[in-house]
């Protein structure tokens, strides 16, 4: 699953763990789920027909959780995060700490993430979530 762009630099963040003096690098990522296919274009009235099936959502949440991710459901995606070392093992990537993505071009330069075989029927793509910029 190693991609040519896997040596890309991405913004990572540190989170405090239970030990006050230890910080863990966490990768935030989004999982875009496959929606139900329809013959019409989605509208406000028909959007529910295009949502991913609940069984697919539950399968993805359980699978990712078993592999160390914390997931939060959204309408058409999952917002997830997990420790860097577990993320690299799961997606067969090696990430390097980089600057915050300040533009779409910088975010687009992030490494390509291959969808694990078990999730392919349910997942359209996985992307690393750019770290928010702090005001100040």
| pLDDT over 50 at 15, yes or no | no
Rounded CA-CA distance 130/108 in Å is 10
- Its pTM surpasses 0.75: no
| pLDDT over 70 at 79, yes or no | yes
Q: Where are the domains of the chain?
A: 9-128
In the chain, the percentage of residues whose pLDDT exceeds 70 is 67
* pLDDT tens sequence across 21-48: 346 789 999 999 998 776 678 788 888 8
**Residue recorded with tokens 């349910």:** 122
| pLDDT over 80 at 124, yes or no | yes
Rounded CA-CA distance 125/115 in Å is 7
């Amino acid at each position: 699953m190693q991609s040519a762009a896997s040596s890309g630099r991405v913004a990572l963040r540190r989170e405090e763990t239970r030990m006050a003096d230890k910080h863990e690098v966490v990768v935030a990522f989004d999982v875009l789920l496959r929606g139900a296919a329809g013959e019409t274009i989605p509208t406000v009235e028909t959007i529910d027909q295009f949502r991913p099936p609940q069984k697919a959502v539950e399968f993805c949440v359980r699978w990712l959780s078993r592999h160390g991710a914390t997931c939060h459901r959204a309408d058409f995606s999952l917002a997830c995060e997990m420790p860097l070392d577990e993320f690299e093992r799961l997606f067969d990537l090696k990430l390097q700490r980089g600057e915050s993505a300040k533009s779409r071009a910088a975010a687009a330069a992030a490494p390509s993430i291959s969808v694990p075989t078990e999730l392919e029927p349910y997942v359209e793509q996985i992307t690393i979530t750019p770290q928010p910029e702090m005001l100040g």
